[in-house]
Structure formats: C-alpha cells, structure tokens
C-alpha cells in the first residue's frame, strides 16, 4: 500500500511500504504532511485541487482517489485548512496500517 497527496497536480507528500517508515521516523505522519504542504503554500496562494491517491494490492480496485478540494480556494481559507487536517488524519491512518501489516 502507498499513498500520495497531490496538490495543484504535483505530489507534495508520499508514503507507503518503506517510505512511510522513513518519513514516520523523521517527522511523523503529521510533520511530513505539514512540511510538504507548507512548501507549496509559499509558492502559491490558490489551491486548485487536493487529492489523496491510495494504491493497494487489491486487483479489483488497485487505486482509489479521495478528493479533498475540488474547486479553487485560497490557502488561508477554512476549506483549505479542513482539507489539510483531513489529509493528515487519513495519511496517519494509512501509516498505521502500513506499519502493522
């Protein structure tokens, strides 16, 4: 299992088997997400889209896309902040799943 947080069509955070262990050891799931998004926030004031791409080993549905933002929003908006929090929670849960499997 692996995941990518995609903001404005660019991967800002990724994790999974092997990757999640390194990111978790260095920053924890929340730190990795916040660091990746903060670097993007400095370069753009509008977020056009935010999607979490989850890849699994299930042949019937190997890739799932979770849309967190579907329309342009400012990076200071409540909607953006909520999307970041949701991304952190989901990626944290995925890291737990990866570490325990």
What are the sequence ranges of the domains in the chain? 2-35+44-100
In the predicted structure, residue 39 carries a pLDDT above the cut 70 = no
- What pLDDT, on the 0 to 100 scale, is given for residue 17? 63
Record the pTM. 0.72
- Per-residue pLDDT band for 36 (boundaries 50, 70, 90) equals low
- What pLDDT, on the 0 to 100 scale, is given for residue 59? 93
In the predicted structure, residue 94 carries a pLDDT above the cut 60 = yes
- What pLDDT, on the 0 to 100 scale, is given for residue 33? 55
Helix (H, G, I), strand (E, B) or coil at 46: strand
Q: Which residues pair with 46 in a beta bridge?
A: 74
In the predicted structure, residue 28 carries a pLDDT above the cut 70 = no
């Amino acid at each position: 299992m692996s995941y990518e947080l995609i903001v404005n069509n660019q991967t800002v955070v990724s994790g999974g088997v092997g990757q999640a262990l390194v990111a978790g050891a260095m920053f924890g799931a929340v730190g990795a997400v916040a660091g990746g998004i903060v670097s993007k926030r400095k370069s753009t004031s509008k977020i056009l889209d935010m999607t979490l791409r989850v890849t699994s080993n299930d042949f019937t549905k190997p890739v799932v896309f979770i849309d967190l933002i579907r329309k342009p929003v400012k990076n200071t908006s409540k909607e953006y902040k909520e999307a970041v929090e949701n991304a952190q929670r989901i990626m944290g849960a995925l890291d737990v799943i990866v570490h325990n499997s």
